[in-house]
Amino acid sequence: MGNKEKKSSMKIVPPGKKKCVWMEAGVVSYKLCDNNYDCSTCLYDQAMQAKVAQHKENLVIAPVEAPSDKFTETWVDKMMQLPASKRKCRYMITGEVQRKICPNAYECGACAFDQMMQDRLQAESLPVQNRSHVQGFEVAEDFYYHEGHAWARPEYGGRVRVGLDDFARRLMGKKAHVELPAIGQETKQGEAAFRIRKNGEMVMGLSPLDGVVAHVNDRLVEHPELVLEFPYEKGWLFIVEPSKLRKNLKGLYFGEEAHQFLSQEGEKLLAMAHADMKIAADGGLSVEDIFADMENQNWTELVRAFLRS
């Protein structure tokens, strides 16, 4: 009976979430990472580091056996007690590499592998692990979605990759292209950050996050079609160094909320243009280029309505 109660009370790491390094090291029983493994800016990590430092100082002043509820070791202390073969690199913890052991005592700033990964991850988007469909539109799971149909995907190191979702790329249609922001440009959640142009018309796209643009997808200059063909991977737009990540993420749709939002958007679009659009057998949209399939509709007004620009 006791074992059953213990098992039922155990907290499970939800799909798409990751253990905090303090949980991974066994210092705390349950804590999920909410800062994209950027420990240097994590308030929780800073508080825990200060707590451990204070307890260590108290033990020096009054060396007694530490109570069980006191923290006397950091997550790095605990990790370094493991055999070298079990000291997981942070990229292994996040799932970005299958197997990598830390050879550098978790001093990531001085790690050549970390720098190499940072350079690679900026240039290449990670593959989408899970996809689903809502109202005929593709949804990349574990992404965050803004009401203006831009997505945000936190990545290791605190950066966030930004792109346009499948709904937006179908609104844009063929021959549309995106004008990217400049590196160093400041972005604000819900404010214009890039432009979408088509047939002489222009619509602004909104940023899902506050921050500064750190990298842009240069490939889109010569291959603008990537946004339309691979909206969640090769067609990403830019990378942001966020300034209010946790606050901003609370204002985005994730998981079931993202599904509900897209379902409502699909229903709204059907209501606006039902007579002029092809409808799939299941009632969803089967349109690759909404602009081309519509009659007597102003593309600019339609896109602005859904991108909230």
Return the bridge partners of 206, or none: 192
Angle at 144 between CA 90 and CA 287, to 5 degrees: 130
Name the residue type at position 80. Answer: M
Per residue in 236-293, pLDDT (tens digit) is 999 998 989 989 999 999 999 999 999 999 888 877 765 555 444 444 554 566 656 5
> What mean pLDDT, rounded, does the chain reach?
83
pLDDT at 1: 45
Is the pLDDT at 200 greater than 50, yes or no? Answer: yes
CA 200 to chain centre: 32
Name the residue type at position 220. Answer: L
Query: Nearest-CA neighbor of 183 among 216, 219, 210?
Result: 216
Domain-by-domain residue ranges, the chain? 14-117, 130-309
pLDDT at 226: 94
Written as six digits, the tokens of 105 are 């005592």
pLDDT at 296: 39
Name the residue type at position 119. Answer: D
- Residues near 58 by beta carbon (within 8 Å), at least 6 away in sequence: none
pLDDT at 55: 86
The class level of CATH for 130-309 reads: mainly beta
Name the residue type at position 108. Answer: C
DSSP state of 73: S
Say what the pTM is. Answer: 0.66
pLDDT at 9: 41
- Residues near 275 by beta carbon (within 8 Å), at least 6 away in sequence: none
8 A C-beta contact, residue 101 and residue 89: yes
Query: Nearest-CA neighbor of 169 among 191, 140, 212?
Result: 140
Sheet holding 186-187, edge to edge: 186-187, 211-216, 238-242, 160-164, 150-154, 144-145, 253-254
Sheet holding 192-198, edge to edge: 177-179, 192-198, 201-206
